[in-house]
Structure 1
């Protein structure tokens, strides 16, 4: 289905359930999509960071997109990440996910080598020239080692190259510059989405169109409620809901930093929470991420209980 212009609301970056052997658990993926749709979300983003896209083979990426597109059957727009190091590799992913039915693609800047803003602009223009669906930029400097300059994003929005931005930079001032600049585009079809779990109320207050929070896998109803309260201007209740979600987000620290990285802990916590809630069959994360221990999974359960989700 065509994505709304602008795309608004809660668009979770969908986790990819895996079997103990590391294959995509199709039945659990379908159950997770049902869980998110029942929670009232406004779109789905597959093959992002929370989806563990970097760990999936091309065949598994394609399976994820085809499964979600087929199951959603046009109820919601499905955005697909096309994250890879260089433009030729990303173009291959664009062809694959659009053939699988994605309604939009989401791309970071090229990475591995540092890239000049002019080369980043060329990258996105080449993608837009070859893509049959809208292209959104993904600002992820922690992984890409390159911050997308606000002025570059706005230039590409103004000329129609980009249809939106998912901002996971953590730079609220730069995010505000994009939101403010997007208002001056006078009707250009451009969506500004925050990737933060912790500042959705602030982003919406600034004028963002929506949010792409990984924690929405665990509590989609909470983020949909937060979005609704913000749009109604009920800021005291919105703040209370955001603070509840911030407390729930504490689960990402359940893993012991002495034996695992932050990604293992955070993604492991999301999957453990979905497993404990009965949404997915197995909390496995992709190799070489370290799995949570039984005690760490129990710690995740305490966060769920504290948020009224268990």
Structure 2
């Protein structure tokens, strides 16, 4: 009900479309009808096009099964999906299922570490937080893939991959927000990279890894003393 109220408020404020995330509590367990009801209530409170979210396979029960995904995609109010399963085989399985059910449905690859693979398998674009840090490199990867220039696409991937690993994969996990903000501060786009407790601030080892990855991506230049 809270999500439905927020969705209606966002639409009234001028949103052209809405992305419906699953509640974090679903990571433990949920009934399929609970998922359908969550989306039904948001649909009933709004009139805008809606987007589904496919959670990472590592997020417990939050990732939708094929049978549940089929029920969600059947709703004509939903026109797209942020496909964030973060696992290549599952991404392709979901893509093929959705295309079979609704060829017009927009699938946006959302695995920051395997954008190249999702573009090769098939994607209508991306919705990734990595693009907030190095949008030019993400766009260059997409443009090369669209043109079928896989040599250039691979080169862009080589620039992106170390940064994706440093932000999303390196231990400890669950630090993406902290590291994204640290990157934006390193690039001069944020004056402060403070995060809310209980997350601790970025530590020196993380910062060094991010600096190196940003240099590989071509976003951060070497200092005179570096």
TM-score (norm 1): 0.63
In the aligned structure 2, how far is the partner of 1:140 from the partner of 1:271?
22
In the aligned structure 2, how far is the partner of 1:296 from the partner of 1:276?
12
In the aligned structure 2, how far is the partner of 1:254 from the partner of 1:228?
26
Q: Secondary structure at the match of 2:112?
A: coil
In the aligned structure 2, how far is the partner of 1:207 from the partner of 1:89?
35
RMSD: 2.4
Aligned residues: 217
Q: 2:174 aligns with which of 248, 260, 263?
A: 263
CA offset digits 1:249-270 (Å, max 9, x no partner): 2332798x5xxx5223x22221
Q: 8 Å contact 1:139–1:166 — kept in the other structure?
A: yes
**Bigger mean CA offset, 102-111 vs 273-282:** 102-111
In structure 1, the residue matched to 2:224 is none
Query: 1:243: how far off?
Result: 2.1
CA offset digits 1:177-219 (Å, max 9, x no partner): 232233334554x211121111112112222211122211110
User: Hey, which of these two has a bigger chunk of helix by percent?
Assistant: 2
In structure 2, the residue matched to 1:71 is none
Q: 8 Å contact 1:158–1:185 — kept in the other structure?
A: yes
In the aligned structure 1, how far is the partner of 2:79 from the partner of 2:190?
33
CA offset digits 1:256-304 (Å, max 9, x no partner): x5xxx5223x222211111111111111122221101356434422222
1:137 to 2:47 alignment: no
Structure 2 gaps, min length 5: 221-226
In structure 2, the residue matched to 1:290 is 200
1:173 to 2:83 alignment: no
In the aligned structure 2, how far is the partner of 1:101 from the partner of 1:288?
33
Q: Which has the higher contact order (CA 8 A, sep 6+)?
A: 1
Query: 1:129: how far off?
Result: 2.3
Q: Secondary structure at the match of 1:309?
A: coil
Structure 1 gaps, min length 5: 1-87
Q: 8 Å contact 1:140–1:146 — kept in the other structure?
A: yes
TM-score (norm 2): 0.84
In the aligned structure 2, how far is the partner of 1:108 from the partner of 1:198?
21
